[in-house]
Amino acid sequence: MKAAFEKIDGGTSPWDADYVFANSVYVVYERFVFSDEITNYPSICIVDRGTRIQHVGGGTRIHITKYEIRGFTFSDAVEQSGESLAADIEHVIEHSRRWSDPLTEYRLLTVRTDGGVLAPEGVCIVEMEKLKWVS
């Protein structure tokens, strides 16, 4: 998943030639990061919020993992920068069928920004879940 978010490079999307990323992500962390730890913007951190297992019968299970993707920006136009980074993250999730395992599905749950509270630093928070089919 980290490699997919690292594709946010300010260029054309590798999954949709009509989409151009508005941001060029500096670093993608696979752990929780506090805003005072960020020194280069924009940055993304992927936080695993836990996994539950759902039994669907016939020996098949679905492992459902919830993730929180936090995007950190630094701009005078803090609300717009947060929204544009959230749109880029959303684009990656929407095209997960092209970069993930065929037995894995990613679902976008919520998208929100801090509304400029920490200006000029901005935060967008995207919640998603990963469904992995296991027999």
Domain boundaries, the chain: 2-134
pLDDT value at residue 115: 80
* DSSP letters spanning 18-74: T-B-S-B--EEESS---GGG--SSSEEEEEEEEEEEEEEETTEEEEEEEEEEEEEEE
Each residue's pLDDT tens digit, 22-81: 999 999 999 999 888 999 999 999 999 999 999 999 999 999 999 999 999 999 998 899
Q: Which CATH number fits domain 2-134: 3.30.70, 2.30.30, 1.20.120, 2.60.40?
A: 3.30.70
Task: Report the chain's C-alpha Rg in angstroms.
Answer: 16
Q: Is the pTM of this model over 0.75?
A: yes
Residue 9 pLDDT: 96
pLDDT for 90 equals: 97
